Amino acid sequence: MIKIHGRITSANVQPVIWCLEELGVDYERLDVGGPFGGTDTPEFRAMNPLGLVPVLEEDGQSIAEAATILRYLMRKFGNHPADPMAAAQIERWADMSRQHIYVPLIPTIFLQKIRVTVEDRNNAAVAQAEAALKQAMAIFEANVKGPYFGGEELNLVDFQIGGLLYRYFELDFDRADLPGLKAYYDNLCLRPAYRENIMIDFSAMKVPGA
């Protein structure tokens, strides 16, 4: 059975679990990382030398990096196309979202607003990330094809972009008002597996003074 090492409060673990649930794949999730620890053991470092979650373990082999795990799951159990060009058309958006949504949103805006006190906050970095995110989101807004990013069915892109939208809409920051993306998000919110694994309240992660 597939084992996922990673705490469910992690923005990188959540899309992996959402994906497994949508695909109906049996798995076990182990609380690792953050307050649970467990990332410094030789066994964990052998699976991910960076000591970060998530890690997928299956039949004595392992995969680190959320994007790689999602790709593996969608290839093995999902609707990821076998044709390289068709697959690349999807991966292109998944990779773009990783670089242009995840990077400004999670390691900068989320981190600065939730894990750093107001006193120590790097407001210049937040403002720069907000501007970059507005640009990127306008491009995604213009390219949503239907109820899901690629049209009528969930695909790899949804797990990458959709996985970030709860924090995008719930965090208090200067974001663009994009009706297409909001409608896309509202549609994802109808999915029980999305609500259960992505819409996880992060207020407890807020440090005092943030």
Question: Can residue 65 be called a binding residue for ligand GSH (CB under 6 A)?
Answer: yes
Q: Side chain identity at 94, as an amino acid letter?
A: A
Distance CA 150, CA 74 (A): 14
Question: Can residue 53 be called a binding residue for ligand GSH (CB under 6 A)?
Answer: yes
Q: What's the residue count for the chain?
A: 210
Query: How many alpha carbons lie under 13 Å from residue 4 in its C-beta half-sphere?
Result: 26
Structure tokens at 115: 């894990």
CA distances from 202 to 24, 35, 144 (A): 26, 14, 27
Q: Which of 33, 78, 162, 163 binds ligand GSH (CB under 6 A)?
A: 33
Nearest-approach distance from CB 164 to ligand GSH, in angstroms: 12
Question: Can residue 164 be called a binding residue for ligand GSH (CB under 6 A)?
Answer: no
Nearest-approach distance from CB 36 to ligand GSH, in angstroms: 8
Question: Can residue 12 be called a binding residue for ligand GSH (CB under 6 A)?
Answer: yes
Structure tokens at 117: 């006190």
Residue for token pair 């990188």 = 12
Question: Can residue 10 be called a binding residue for ligand GSH (CB under 6 A)?
Answer: yes
Q: Which of 34, 81, 147, 180 binds ligand GSH (CB under 6 A)?
A: 34
Nearest-approach distance from CB 72 to ligand GSH, in angstroms: 12
Nearest-approach distance from CB 188 to ligand GSH, in angstroms: 20
Find out whether the peptide bond into 54 is cis, omega within 30 degrees of 0. yes
Contacts of 198 (CB under 8 A, 6+ apart): 14, 15, 18, 162, 163, 165, 166, 188
Question: Can residue 52 be called a binding residue for ligand GSH (CB under 6 A)?
Answer: yes
Nearest-approach distance from CB 68 to ligand GSH, in angstroms: 8
Distance CA 32, CA 30 (A): 6
With CB under 6 A as the rule, give the number of residues binding ligand GSH: 12
Binding site for ligand GSH (CB under 6 A): 10-12, 33-34, 39, 52-54, 65-67
